[in-house]
Structure 1
Amino acid sequence: MTLLGLLIGGWLLTALAPLFARWLGHRAGWPLAAGLLVLAAMAFLLGYDANVEQSVPWIPSLDIALRLRLDGLSMVFVALVLVVGALVMIYSTAYFRGKPTVSYYTLMTAFAASMTMLVLADDLVLLFVSWEFTTLCSYLLILRSGPDAGPPATRTLLVTVAGGLCLLAAVATITVRTGTTHLTTALADPAWAEDGTFAATVAVLVAVAAMTKSAQFPFHAWLPDAMVAPAPVSAYLHAAAMVKAGIYLLLRFAEPASHAPVWSVLLISVGLVTSFIGAIFALQRTDLKALLAYSTVSHLGLLTLVIGIGTTTALTAAVVHVIAHASFKSAGFLYVGLLEKRAGTRDIREVRGLLRSMPFASALILVAAIAMGGIPPTLGFVSKELVIDGALHGTGLWLAALVALSAAITVAYSGRVVVSTLPGTPTPLTPARGTWPMAAAIAVGALAAGALGLFAPVLDPVVGRAVAASGGAADVHLALWHGVNTALGLSLAAIAAGVVLILARRGVDRALDRRLFPITGVGAVEAIQHGVVVGGRRLGDFGRTTAPAAHLAVPLVLVALIGAGGLVMLRPTWEAVPSTWVDAGLLLVVSGGVLATLLARTRLGAVISVGIAGFAVALWFFTLGATDVALTQLLVEILTVVIMVLVLRHLPPGFPRRPRGRSIVAAVLAVAAGVVATFATLVFTGGSELSTVGRWFIENGPEATGGSNVVNTILVEFRALDTFGELVVLAVAALAIAALVEARPQMTRPVLPTASRMLEPPALNMVFIRVFARLLIPLMVFGSIYALLRGHNAPGGGFIAALIGAAALALRYLAAPTDDDARSGLPYLSIAGAGVVVAAASGFLGFAEQSFLTPLHGYVFGYHLTSSLVFDVGVYLAVFGVILGALDLLGVPRVLTKGSESR
């Protein structure tokens, strides 16, 4: 078993989850839990006593790979993700009895796989991708919770995605500065110690990213807001796993980021504030789930604080508290789900006597609450004492005293859970029949939090390796009793103060029964969200017009400004290239076409004028030797004129009258943009006939690709990924045309009777063009295929070939006697989509050699063949499908009648 196999196993389990859910319903949690436990066992066997690494090439040209590493730190988090995930799956078999579970189980296993990939990632890009996967899974799991889950899910997504953008910025900065995406290598780079600006920048970016995911102030509000999700989701994502992703990130970057002084200051201050805010808000809450949510915020604050301290003791406290918190908090959230299922409420004011009505579950929540309060002999006590000790020896007594004060509030709200619900007259509950898997899952978490305190030395090797991976010393000795010392005294003082707060809870409740701050975290997020939406709407108002001139003005002005700025700053020089009388003549034709377009009073006249300019440009390309570009220009002009004429059928014949001043302004802008674009072209090319890049392609392209048509080899080999993106855009364009035309009926002007009867019968008037088309269309189809096959070595290729084939379609359309006969009936969307699929499939062939879209070359019967030909077929199909759709949809008018539509 390898790390890649471990990762594949997680995603394979995700693929099987919907099948299990359809076959087994709510019982699908059993095989999924078994799968997660098997993966956990494999991870344990792989990396218990040694670091394991594996790398598979992903994007070699950018040094990006599927690099995986299982060390002590990732081992702790992999165990938490998979074991707690298995417990939640078992719990879910009873919690979701009789409810649809396909999406739930699929997303939960996808989250488990994403978290596993995150903590195993040893590549910065893979780390970021995994981070975003966890964000997406969390959003979808919250969103599926019910009709009221939309706003909380959106707020959660906004906050966590903002953190993801910070992480992306950190990844980019690290990669550029260190020259690698290999996480281990990047973290060991001397730049962290030598470049203070770099270290500080990345430290802040990583800290903010982690704080958004781990609900630190001022980003803390999303976690309580996300409690609309079901109890198992809250237990897994928002207590044991997802919120720990931020803690994992802080621990992973703790050693190199500590070179920046801002790291410790930021983490300690934010962690301290968060721990107090979370604890006080938890003490305010009567909803048990909200109480546990704010408690989670508080504990995450303590974890952030000790990581900021950065000593071996502090890092040890962080690792131990991660384990303890995952144990008792997952048990707490799962208990809330059981209580809600049996009592119908989560309000601690409405349930009493649970010790008698739910004795087993009550005993478990008692153990979990004791561990959460940090009371001996639980693991929570061990970790709390380590946190206080880390603060004491890291920064001094003042911080340790503040941590102890936060711990006292923790004891108070933990005790409140127990004293408010367990004693008293029992509240009526539904029967416990069928809930034993829920109780079993709670038992494992609660007993682990309790028993591991007594056997803390068992964790020494696991915790020691994790601390060493975080930058501390591996020599760790955990124990329940460390003797009488200051940390013990502060810990006992915190317990005593917490007990006093429990005894005085009525007065505490009265004191806290009010709004403590003028705004809430949720309100702040909503205000920011609203402000962004309103601002975007106001900004969009500038372009919310149907007038083409308003949209054209922006690029024209920008082109003019950018070009003018380039001329001023670059102060270019260029060579004078001699011109011929042909250039002068074509320039006059182009200018005449442009002038005629400006003076045209009818739309058809404008189309003809634009066509004149376009055909002249095509001829100019031919005279300059750019045969491929000229063919493309010529064919595009032909098809553009055909399609524009089809569109003109649905528009008034003439242009609306415009003020003379507006025409003058438009003309000045157009001329200015053209002049500046001309000068900008001279600036970037130096006025030479061939640029440096162009010369390199001509000299090296044929040898590198085996093809002598440089234009085609650039499109399908050197810049194949760009071309593939354009194919996707073309397919989307076909969808857009279909959606626009089908969604809104076209208005067709009534056809006026003609003056001469000779022009009326279309069948008779189409005789010449129909006879001509019978000969020409097969030749054009043959020429289309020929152009496709020869494109690698001569003018042609997929794009030009598709335009020739589409021109044959246009000729067929023009030769048809009626609109109904003109429709081809071919599935244009399927053809365009097939082009994208074929291009992608040819790209995957490249993995046989290097990476996606790497062309493969070979010889068959002495002929040189390349996989880029298959890619060119994809280009052909995509372009052909788009033009076919335009002809079929725009060429058949639909007349809107009263209350109905007819074709």
Structure 2
Amino acid sequence: MSLVLAVASAWILVPLAPVLVRLFGRYAGWPLALGMLFPLGILAGLRLDAGDVSQTVPWIPVLDVALRLRMDGLAFLFVLLILVIGAVVLIYSSSYLRAPRSPGFYLLMTAFAAAMLTLVLADDLLLLYVAWELTTLCSYLLILRSGPHAGPAATRTLLVTVAGGLCLLGAVCLIIVRTGTVQLSAALADPAWSSDAGFATAVAALVAVAAMTKSAQFPFHSWLPDAMVAPAPVSAYLHAAAMVKAGIYLLMLFSPAASHAVIWPALLVSIGLLTAALGAVLAVTRRDLKSLLAYSTVSQLGLLVAAIGVGTEVAMLAASIHVIAHALFKSSLFMGVGLIEKRTGTRDLHELSGLWRVMRWEAVMLVLAAASMAGIVPLVGFVSKELIFESLLHSPWGSGWLLALLAAAATVFTVAYSARLVLPTLPGPAMDGVKPWRYAAAMSVAVSATALTGLVLGPTVGILDPIAIPAAAVAAGVAPTEVGHLALWHGVNIPLVLSILAIAAGLAIAVLMGRRDRARSASGAQAPAEWVAPVTGVGVVQGIHDRIISFGHRVGDLTRFDSTAGQLAIPFVLIGAAALTTPLLWQGVGEYSSSTFLDGILLVLVVAGVVAIVRSRTRLGGVIASGIVGFTVVLTFFTLGASDVALTQLLVEVLTVVVMVLVLRRMSWRFPKEDARRRLAAVVAAVFTGAAATAATLVFTGHRGLSDVGEYMMGSAEELTGGTNIVNVILVDFRALDTLGELVVLAIGSVAVAALLDARPLVERKRPAPASPALANPFGNADYLRLLGRVLVPVMIVASLFMLLRGHTAPGGGFIAALLGAGAVVLSYLSAPTDDVPRVQRPYLAIAGLGMVVAAGTGLIGLFDGSFLRALHVDILGYHFTTALVFDLGVYFAVLGVILAAINRLGVSTPDDGTGRRPRPEDDPPPTGSTAPEDSVTAAETVQEASIATDGGGTR
């Protein structure tokens, strides 16, 4: 058993979630909850057997990149919350969800739990940051999927939390640079925290801001109530064990190191108490129960942040036990409010009454959870509140009495809003239309489990010592023996007196507000809306968002025009301006420079092609002329001995022309007319830019031979990789990580093509009348291409596979093979008389994604030899096999997926007959007259129009 196994088992639940939903429907929450307890069992066993444990799995040893995990007392505390509360919420969800199948919800909830588990077990700064951002992404998607109305709230939440993520990224970079390590535990133990005040202050401020955005501290608190558009299970998990607890964990983790900065305690204590008071006051004024609970979370998190800021052993013990207490009563309350809403149809405080008469058991559970939140003895919330008062009284930062009194003032309103949950809703006449208990049995079980646990743990709080004390010791940076013990009763002392006064005052406020509401109801007056401050956090965030968008529009307006020449003029001018510095670096003609008569001929061909492009008056003519330049470059590569590069360039040229023709068929054939001044300016800019690029090339590459890295690759490629094709070896062996990144870009490109063409449908323009009746029959005109395709397509496919297999030792490889295979697909498309080509209509997004999966999976195989993406070698029946070939297969699929995306979306017309299918040849026999339908432009007609354009025909 290991930490890696525990984390992996949590992530395995993510792809399993849709499968289980298919099998069990919305009741998939039960097996998923059981699956979430599996990593908990592993981690609990490790904790009991070995205490603090760590594990490192090398990833890329040369770069010191590894999967580092560590579980100490602090991490184990949060592991319990994440997995136990997560399991309870999943059980609750099986009854809460009404849709028969909710794969997206369960997938995101399990991903949320896995990301949080990775976060608290991470012993690597980079892994910590990645997991941090994954929790942000999961919360955003969970909020967003709540419905169309949730979009603005989800966006505001994302803006605030991503801003905090950027602060954390800044802190991570500073720590790595200053300490020289990415290992989290080693970085936090580095002496730089105590010896370098500037470093400690900068990192402490960045970490504090990052945590405060996640834990909804002032002035970043607005996103948490705003996120209440999410369903009850999401709110319960987000508030109790995920997202907001990520910020608390980060503060406790960094506290021993960051407390060397003077700003740390001052910032945390002041902001924490301010947030506690502000959240409590706002909670009292809410009439929506979820909104009330959201602001109560803001307040409770403020008390936690203040206790962490104090930083003493007692304060960290208070924070540890309050993390547990808060998780229990907050999950119970949010799930309870969701249960009330499901059974009564409302969560408005002024509409609920008589719940005691129709929901007796649930009413008792609601009272227990609210009492724990208010800090009423003997619940576990009482223990944590007393310890927080105690820690503030003995704070080494500022006046302890003042801090305790401020916390007690906030607690007054805590009691008030806790009572507001109970006093107006339980008594009174029973509501009509309440759904029966059987309708929400699993929801009731989940609410009861957390509420009763809070009751049981109060008198027996000492059993939490093995969990809370090690966590507090890690957060305080001391030995566990220096931390006190948990107990329900500490005698009559100042914290108890403060608690009694706060409870009395809070109940008085709740009673007075209840009387006011009843008086207003008796008089027939309408209940007032929730109080809204003139300036709200949501309004500020939305205002910032709107201004950023407005500023982006203004910046975009500078270049928002359709002129391609105008768009290109900006980079051309910048490139030319940069070339003004090249004369300062000029060193004369390099010793490696040489030229031949053939080079001169190729140069003349390039110039001729460029002149032809400039003088072309039609777009298709320009494309054909650009082919002259492209094919000349191909010949240049061949003459230099770069056969791989030449073959790649050749295939790219062919496919590029095809894609460009597919685009041009929807545009006007001729270039727009331009006046002489614009043409002169374009010529000057082009010449200037070309000269600049040439000078830069000569300066930076004309004075050196092969680099040391190049010499190493050339000299050791065959020995290390078994390959003799140095180009392919570099791509799939030496620089496989770069290639993997490029595959991701290619896959994203295919998605972008699909998304762009979905957002802006293609223009179906009418074709010009055929110049000859013989051209009007697409079926007859495609006979030659069809016959050619029957011969060439199988040959090209076989050649494609051959190029893939030989790429490691001879010219070829996955990229070239994919281009050749895509050429076969293109030929199938061009030889078809209509746009309905089954051989082209393939799931290109899945193919591109398969390429990434294959490449990444091959990289994981390399871990058996100690490094990600390290190729493994084996001899099978006399044939030397390497996993680099499988990696090359991933390259093949990714490239093929992108080309198929372009052909599918640009070349295949969308049906417009309302049937959802494209017309087939048998549906419409070949026309025999001189006219053809004007509602489609087929591939064969593209060839016909090309001939018209190049011959100067047509009227367009």
Q: What's the TM-score bracket when you normalise by the shorter of the two chains?
A: 0.7 to 0.9
Helix, strand or coil at the partner of 1:744:
coil
1:368-517 mapped onto 2 (5 Å cutoff): 368-394=369-395, 395=397, 396=399, 397-428=401-432, 430=434, 432-434=436-438, 435=440, 437-473=442-478, 474=480, 475-505=483-513, 517=533
Q: 1:628: which partner in 2?
A: 644
Structure 1 368/632 Cα, relative in aligned 2: closer, same or farther at 3 Å? closer
2:351 is matched with 350
Residues 108-127 of structure 1: pairs in structure 2 closer than 5 A: 108-127=109-128
Q: Residue 484 of structure 1: CA displacement?
A: 4.5
In 2, are the aligned partners of 1:160 and 1:213 still within 8 Å (CA)?
A: yes
Normalising by structure 2, report the TM-score: 0.83
CA distance in 2, matches of 1:684, 1:139: 46
- C-alpha contact 2:779 2:833 (8 A) present in aligned 1: no
1:452 aligned partner, one-letter code: L
- Listed as ranges, the gaps of 5+ residues in structure 2 are 521-527, 913-931, 939-956
Change (3 A) 1:392 1:574: farther
After TM superposition, the structure 1 = structure 2 runs for residues 780-859 of structure 1, keeping only pairs within 5 Å, are 787-801=803-817, 803=819, 819=833, 825=839, 833=848, 839-840=855-856, 842-859=858-875
Counterpart for residue 923 of structure 2: none
Amino acid at match of 1:551: Q
| Per-residue deviation, residues 46-81 of structure 1 (Å, max 9, x unmatched) | 314711223333444443333332221122222222
**Aligned 8 A contact 1:53 1:68 in 2:** yes
Q: Greater CA deviation, 319-328 or 651-660?
A: 651-660
Question: CA offset at residue 191 of structure 1?
Answer: 2.7
Contact 1:823 1:888 in 2 (8 A): no
CA distance in 2, matches of 1:165, 1:655: 46
Matched, 1:753 2:771: yes
Which position in structure 1 is the counterpart of 2:703? 687
Give the structure 1 partner of residue 152 of structure 2. Answer: 151
- Greater displacement, 736-745 / 88-97: 736-745
User: Could you say what secondary structure the match of 1:4 adopts?
Assistant: helix
Q: 1:206 to 1:18 in 2, by over 3 A?
A: same
Q: How far does residue 122 in structure 1 lie from its aligned partner after superposition?
A: 2.4
Name the CA shift for 1:566/1:54 in 2 (closer, same or farther; >3 Å). farther
Cα distance in 1 between the residues matched to 2:610 and 2:99: 71
Q: Bigger CA drift: 685-694 or 461-470?
A: 685-694
Contact 2:171/2:203, CA 8 A, preserved across alignment: yes
Task: Tell me the distance in 2 between the aligned counterparts of 1:861 and 1:101.
Answer: 49
In the alignment, which residue of structure 1 is the partner of 2:685? Answer: 669
Aligned to 2:731: 715
How far is 1:535 from its partner? 2.7
SS in 1 for 2:378: coil
* Residue identity in the other structure for 1:868: A
Whole-Å separation in 2 of the counterparts to 1:375 and 1:741:
60
- Listed one character per residue, the Cα deviations across residues 660-719 of structure 1 (whole Å, up to 9, x for unaligned) are 111222222222222222232234336224344433332333333233332222122222
Q: Aligned equivalents of 1:766 and 1:495: distance in 2? A: 88
Rounded Cα–Cα distance in structure 2 between residues aligned with 1:496 and 1:83: 34
The Cα shift of 1:235 comes to 2.2
Q: For residues 94-131 of structure 1, give each alpha carbon's deviation from its aligned partner in whole angstroms, at most 9, with x where no partner exists.
A: 44468655544444333333333322222333333333
Distance in 2 (CA, whole Å) between partners of 1:479 and 1:545 is 71
CA contact (8 A) 1:741 1:889 kept: yes
Give 1:251 deviation, angstroms. 0.8
Is 1:46 the counterpart of 2:46 in the alignment? yes
* Displacement after TM superposition at 1:304 (Å): 0.8
* Matched residue, 2:713: 697
* Superposed displacement of residue 442, structure 1: 3.1
Q: Which moved more, 1:155-164 or 1:269-278?
A: 155-164
Gaps of 5+ in 1: none
**Aligned amino acid, residue 218 of structure 1:** P
- Whether contact under 8 Å (2:82, 2:242) holds in the other structure is yes
1:4 aligns to 2:4 (yes or no) = yes
SS at match of 1:236: helix
Q: 1:515 to 1:698 in 2, by over 3 A?
A: same
Cα–Cα, structure 1 residues 808 and 316, in superposed 2: closer, same or farther, change >3 Å?
A: closer
CA distance in 2, matches of 1:779, 1:436: 64
Aligned partners of 1:559 and 1:676 also within 8 Å? yes
Q: Which secondary structure state, in structure 1, belongs to the residue aligned with residue 165 of structure 2?
A: helix
How much does 1:188 deviate?
1.6
Give deviations 1:601-649, integer Å, cap 9, x for gaps.
3445534543333344334434444343344334544554566567666
* Matched letter for residue 6 of structure 1: A
Alpha-carbon distance in 2 for matches of 1:778, 1:441: 61
- Once residues 907 and 456 of structure 2 are traced to their aligned partners in structure 1, the CA distance between those partners, rounded to angstroms, is 77
Alpha-carbon spacing, 1:206–1:62, altered in 2? closer, same or farther (3 Å):
farther
1:454 counterpart SS class: coil
> Cα offset for 1:303?
0.6
- 1:49-68 alignment, distance < 5 Å: 50-68=51-69
Matched to 1:494, the amino acid is A
**Corresponding residue for 2:614?**
598
CA 656–471 in structure 1, closer or farther in 2 if over 3 Å, else same: same
Distance 1:275 1:563, change over 3 A: farther
Q: Are the equivalent residues in 1 in contact too, given 2:136–2:162 (CA < 8 A)?
A: yes
- Asked if 1 retains the 8 angstrom alpha-carbon contact of 2:593 and 2:702, the reply is no
Give me the CA root mean square deviation.
Answer: 4.1
1:486-635, aligned counterparts within 5 Å? 486-505=494-513, 517-564=533-580, 575=590, 577-582=592-597, 583-603=599-619, 605-635=621-651
What's the secondary structure of 2:487's corresponding residue? Answer: coil
CA–CA separation in structure 1 for the residues paired with 2:667 and 2:254: 62
| Aligned residue in 2 for 1:135 | 136
Number of positions where the alignment pairs a residue of Structure 1 with one of Structure 2 = 897
Residues of 2 paired with 1:651 and 1:792: CA distance?
A: 42
Contact 1:214–1:246 under 8 Å retained in 2: yes
Return closer, same or farther for 1:358/1:606 CA change in 2, 3 Å cut-off: closer
Given that 1:315 and 1:472 are in contact with CA atoms closer than 8 Å, whether structure 2 keeps it comes out as no
Residue of structure 1 equivalent to 2:73: 72
Q: Is the 8 A contact 2:22 2:101 kept in 1?
A: no
